[in-house]
Amino acid sequence: MEQHELIPNLFRNEYRKIVCVLCRLFGIAHVETAEDIVSDTFLSATEIWSVRGVPENPTAWLYTVAKNKTKNYLKRDSLFQQKLSPELQYQAEKMEEFELDLSIKNIGDSQLAMIFTVCNPQISTESQVALALNLLCGFGIQEIADAYLTNKEVIYKRLKRAKDRLKAVNMKIEQPGLTEISLRMDTVLTTLYLLFSEGYYSTAQNTTLRRDFCAEAMRLVYLLADQETTNLPEVNALLSLMCFHVSRFDTRANSEGEAILYGDQDESLWNQELIGQGKYYLGLSASGSRLTKYHLEAGIAYWHTHKADTAEKWQQILQLYNNLLVLEYSPIVALNRTFALAKVDGKLAAIAEAEKLKLTGNHFYYSLLGNLYTDVDDALALQHYRQALLLASSDADKLIISRHIRHLDG
């Protein structure tokens, strides 16, 4: 890998690890200090490697420099030392005994502790996702701004408010106990679910960035599944859902970036390895007695990996949607259900259900009605598609709707 590619790749993979270890060591009140030390480490790598070349083991080089910079910082900043825990103060005073632990186990433990720190109900959901992207995944402020289709200043303020709030409540960064896991797992999974959705359903045109968001969300859920205390049925259900969705990622858009509808996707391009993993984790999620929305959504995603348009498939999907609405009602879930209803009971039954929703500010609502009215009342279908086009914001959605309009206007 060329140096201009290597450093950004290392930054993405190693920055988050070292930051998590330092944050756990220093405490959340000193998160900026941790970030400064790691940023300075990568700045040194950029400057030195450009002159001397890339070392034989770049990761080991980064870890060594990060350890030395941490030691030097502790040595020269006595005021900072006084704010640290007595144990760390003692180590800092005896520098020959201090050693920053960047072992695989401590990195994993620190990342797990940070997940439960960042996914905190005392800060807003959007701030949790932004913090997760920044601290847990190593995304820069510009990348996060690009994903949210906003500017750096908005994201910077969002991150600052979230960090200030965590400091204000003096949130401890520590391995979660069973009680903490029980109380906070729902918040953690919601944040990771939203992080994944930000990549999978994002309107941003940067496909690489969207893929990276999905991959990072999956990595964090894998981390939860890999720990005995957090390997819960709902964790496996969310991981299963992600695997099924990502298995079809390559077929959701063509080479020009234009969206491809489910019915037009090339099944041969679906990733069978990920589908197999999805089935595996879905099986693991069946243990226990608690049914979550992740179980039901994973079931729906599972049936969508069966391309054949069978009665069994749509009956199963419809039943899963019915259960999902009972468990956690959502107008968008109700809207999605009507498509399955059309497959099972016909378009007229689905139209009656869809029109009850009255989601008049949502272009998906009018797109669905356009689809349902096609071949039933083409004039009304055309009217709905035109309204959908007025409401749509992304170029991809507008392109699909325009195709439907041209087909009906033919």
Task: Provide the phi-psi class of 179: left if phi over 0, else alpha when psi is between -120 and 50, else beta.
Answer: alpha
- The residue type found at 406 is R
pLDDT at 82: 60
CB 104 within 8 A of CB 18: no
Coil/strand/helix, residue 137? coil
347 alpha-carbon distance from chain centroid = 35
pLDDT tens digit string along 190-215? 999 999 998 888 766 666 667 888 99
Is the confidence at residue 352, as pLDDT, over 80?
A: yes
State the number of CA atoms in the 13 A half-sphere of 160 facing the CB: 6
pLDDT tens digit string along 101-114? 999 999 999 999 99
pLDDT at 85: 55
- The residue type found at 56 is E
pLDDT tens digit string along 41-61? 999 999 999 899 899 999 999
Q: Which residue has the higher pLDDT, 120 or 296?
A: 296
pLDDT category of residue 260 using cuts at 50, 70 and 90 = confident
pLDDT at 66: 95
- Distance in angstroms (rounded) separating the CA atoms of residues 333 and 252: 20
pLDDT at 55: 92
Q: What is the mean pLDDT of the chain?
A: 89
pLDDT at 42: 94
What is the mean pLDDT of the segment spanning 165-183? 88
- Distance in angstroms (rounded) separating the CA atoms of residues 222 and 226: 6
pLDDT at 1: 56
What is the mean pLDDT of the segment spanning 310-326? 97
The token duo for 236 is 């496996």
As beta bridge partners, residue 259 has: 253
Buried b (16+ CB within 10 A) or exposed e, 181-202: beebbebbbbbbbebbebbbeb
- Distance in angstroms (rounded) separating the CA atoms of residues 148 and 128: 14
| CA-to-CA dists, residue 356 to 57, 60, 331, 379, angstroms | 62, 61, 10, 20
pLDDT tens digit string along 58-84? 999 999 999 999 988 887 766 565 666
The total number of residues shown for the chain amounts to 410
CB 170 within 8 A of CB 107: no
Is the confidence at residue 154, as pLDDT, over 60?
A: yes
